[in-house]
């Protein structure tokens, strides 16, 4: 099954910012520990359940939350799988400079990053002293995404939550954090509900050409005249050592951007390249 991730930006300060920052740092430390232990092993598990069984304890010792601990394990597993696919030496890989935390799988409701009916996300946090808390995030949500979030709740659709911190600073003597809540849902659910919400009465035609690092869109009218072209890049997702799970998230966002661009530019029908005919 394919999945797509939507991004919902937020800004918080004060105690909530501190809670998110501590949680993200601890998640990063847990991922570092799992990576270090995995590098020392001669043979690594071949499936997710094996990774979780072997490495959960290492992550849980830092994050006393099973879902977040498994999320750190899953992240490192994704790095390992990407290394194998790209022929990169796993033992030479280091984590990049990021701050985030995530669950490891889709569920309804997601226990640690929970979507509520009023478009709030109730997020479980772990503090530096090991104690746990719960904070509320109210991200900026468009009408279109509100319809999708409503559908998740009413349809009891399984989803996975992730919180990414994009910026940290001090404003008016208070810590502030800028970030986004990322919600991953099955792609067929996304398009089913988005299609119900959006209607398009235009008659332009779009052609899509997929490459290893980009998607090209060409738009023509009913007479076959070229009206517009646009390229959606995801070159970072094809870079050596880039985590496979994160790569699919980026590619999914570019697909969403393409569909949104096509809709806003009057495309009624899209045709995809048949790669088997090459």
For the chain, the residue count is 278
- Does residue 197 surpass a pLDDT of 60? no
Give the tens place of pLDDT for each residue, 237-276. 666 666 666 677 777 788 888 888 887 778 888 888 765 6
pLDDT bin (cut points 50, 70, 90) of residue 186 is confident
The answer to which of 30-44, 49-63, 83-97, 190-204 has the lowest mean pLDDT is: 190-204
Q: How confident is the model at residue 34 (pLDDT cuts 50, 70, 90)?
A: very high
Query: What is the pLDDT, as a whole number, of residue 238?
Result: 67
Q: Is the pLDDT of residue 187 over 70?
A: yes
pLDDT of residue 175: 94
C-alpha dihedral (53, 55, 60, 62), degrees to nearest 10: 180
Residue, of 184 and 254, whose pLDDT is higher: 184
CA distances from 234 to 145, 213, 248, 250 (A): 23, 5, 10, 7
Mean pLDDT, the chain, integer: 87
Average pLDDT on 34-41 reads 94
Interval 132-166: pLDDT, tens: 999 999 999 988 788 889 989 998 999 999 999 99
Would you state the pLDDT for residue 267? Answer: 86
> What integer pLDDT is reported at residue 262 of this predicted model?
86
What are residue 225's phi and psi, to 5 degrees? -80, 135
Question: Does residue 1 register a pLDDT over 70?
Answer: no
pLDDT per position as a tens digit, 100-142:
999 989 999 999 999 998 999 999 999 999 899 999 999 999 8
Q: In the chain, what are the domains?
A: 3-192 (no CATH), 200-277 (3.30.420.40)
pLDDT of residue 275: 59
């Amino acid at each position: 099954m394919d999945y797509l991730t939507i991004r919902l930006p937020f800004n918080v300060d004060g105690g909530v910012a501190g809670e998110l920052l501590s949680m993200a740092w601890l998640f990063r430390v847990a991922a570092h520990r799992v990576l270090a232990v995995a590098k020392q092993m001669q043979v690594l598990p071949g499936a997710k359940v094996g990774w979780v069984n072997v490495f959960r304890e290492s992550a849980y010792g830092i994050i006393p939350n099973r879902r977040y601990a498994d999320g750190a394990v899953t992240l490192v597993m994704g790095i390992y799988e990407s290394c194998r696919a790209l022929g990169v030496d796993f033992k030479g890989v280091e984590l990049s400079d990021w701050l985030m935390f995530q669950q490891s799988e889709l569920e309804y409701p997601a226990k640690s990053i929970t979507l509520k009916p009023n478009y709030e996300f109730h997020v479980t946090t772990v503090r530096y002293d090991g104690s746990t808390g719960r904070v509320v995030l109210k991200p900026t949500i468009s009408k279109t995404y509100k319809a999708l979030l409503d559908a998740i709740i009413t349809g009891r659709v399984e989803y996975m939550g992730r919180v990414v911190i994009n910026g940290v600073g001090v404003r008016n003597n208070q810590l502030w954090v800028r970030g986004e809540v990322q919600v991953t849902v099955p792609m067929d659910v996304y398009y089913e509900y988005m299609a119900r919400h959006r209607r398009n009465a235009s008659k332009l035609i779009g052609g899509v050409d997929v490459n290893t690092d980009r998607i090209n869109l060409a738009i023509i009218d009913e007479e076959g005249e070229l009206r517009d072209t646009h390229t959606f890049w995801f070159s970072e997702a094809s870079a050596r050592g880039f985590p496979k799970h994160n790569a699919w998230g980026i590619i999914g966002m570019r697909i969403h951007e393409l569909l949104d661009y096509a809709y806003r530019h009057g495309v009624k029908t899209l045709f995809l390249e048949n790669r088997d005919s090459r």
